[in-house]
């Protein structure tokens, strides 16, 4: 099986797919394409990427010649094409899909509200909503060790981007206490094969924080 991924570590949506590939030990070729928000001036997009990514955004994946873009469809595409070690087990598929949709709703926008916010009041409100999201996740973890049951699933893939960025988000204004169950889940998720595969270095942590701090300074 031939798998190629176009993406970059700075993109949370790529982090999801990268985690799933690493967790399932799927070998793939990575073509480095930064998301548009951090794409260097003059960066030349690969022809194959331009031809197959409708919005010219990452992630884009190709499996044996078949292309698909957008992180959640890509995660499900992997489940359809690779049978081993599924992250969307058939017996709990409905629960996993509902948790994936809910996490996508409550995490991404509020994470962005903290990271990209320039108004302290708006950052504080986004931090509050993010804290509410973590409280909801903690409730799920009272019933099972993982977000959708007894094993890691696609729900963990959706949580990974915010887990990677948490130290930076704290520095940028997320000043709420993380529920112990979520803190434990974060540590266990990042220790998984997929978490180790996608994990950030200290330099990446620093670059993420520095980029957002610079954006705030430029915004005044």
The secondary structure of 9-71 as a DSSP string is TT-HHHHHHHHHHHHTT---EEEE---GGGPPTTPPPPHHHHHH-TTS-S-EEEETTEEEESH
The confidence score (pLDDT) of residue 74 equals 98
Which of 4, 5, 20 shows the shortest CA–CA distance to 195?
20
Question: For residue 34, what pLDDT is reported?
Answer: 97
Return the percent helix, strand and coil in the chain, to nearest 5: 60, 10, 30
Q: How confident is the model at residue 174 (pLDDT cuts 50, 70, 90)?
A: very high
The distance of Cα 94 from the centroid of its chain, to the nearest Å, equals 21
The model's pLDDT over 6-58, given as tens digits with 9 standing for 90+, comes to 999 999 999 999 999 999 999 999 999 999 999 999 999 999 999 999 999 99
Run of H or E residues at 126: helix 120-141
Domain regions of the chain by residue span: 3-81, 90-219
Hey, do 3-81 and 90-219 end up sharing a CATH topology, with the first three levels equal?
Answer: no
Tens-digit pLDDT profile for residues 77-112: 999 999 999 999 999 999 999 999 999 999 999 999
Fold classified for 90-219: Glutathione S-transferase Yfyf (Class Pi); Chain A, domain 2 (1.20.1050)
- pTM for the predicted model, two decimal places: 0.97
Give the mean pLDDT of 146-160: 98
The tokens for 190 are 């990042």
- Phi/psi of residue 149, each to 5°? 140, -150
For 179-214, how does the pLDDT look when each residue is reduced to its tens digit (9 = 90+)? 999 999 999 999 999 999 999 999 999 999 999 999
Residues 82 and 24: beta-carbon distance below 8 Å: yes
Q: Which CATH number fits domain 3-81: 3.40.47.10, 3.30.70.100, 3.30.70.890, 3.40.30.10?
A: 3.40.30.10
Mean pLDDT confidence for 58-74: 97
What is the DSSP code (8-state) at residue 142?
T
- Could you tell me the pLDDT band of residue 220, with boundaries at 50, 70 and 90? confident
Q: What is the pLDDT of residue 42?
A: 94
Check residue 20 and give its pLDDT: 98
pLDDT over 90 at 76, yes or no: yes
Q: Percent of the chain scored above 90 by pLDDT?
A: 98
């Amino acid at each position: 099986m031939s798998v190629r991924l176009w993406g970059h570590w700075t993109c949370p949506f790529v982090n999801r797919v990268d985690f799933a590939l690493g967790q399932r030990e799927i070998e793939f070729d990575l073509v480095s394409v930064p998301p548009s928000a951090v794409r260097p001036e003059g960066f030349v997009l690969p022809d194959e990427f331009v031809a197959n990514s409708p919005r010219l955004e990452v992630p884009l994946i190709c499996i044996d010649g078949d292309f698909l873009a957008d992180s959640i469809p890509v995660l499900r595409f992997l489940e359809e094409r690779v049978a081993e070690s599924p992250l969307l087990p058939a017996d709990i598929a409905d629960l996993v899909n509902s948790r994936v949709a809910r996490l996508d709703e409550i995490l991404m926008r509020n994470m962005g509200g903290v990271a990209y916010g320039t108004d302290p009041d708006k950052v504080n409100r986004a931090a509050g909503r993010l804290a509410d999201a973590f409280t909801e996740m903690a409730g799920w973890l009272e019933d099972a060790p993982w977000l959708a049951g007894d094993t890691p699933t696609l729900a963990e893939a959706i949580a990974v981007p915010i887990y990677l960025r948490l130290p930076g988000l704290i520095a940028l204004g997320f000043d709420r206490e993380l529920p112990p169950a979520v803190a434990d889940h974060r540590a266990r998720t990042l220790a998984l094969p997929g978490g180790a595969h996608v994990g950030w270095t200290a330099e990446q942590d620093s670059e993420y924080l520095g980029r957002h701090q610079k954006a705030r300074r430029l915004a005044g």
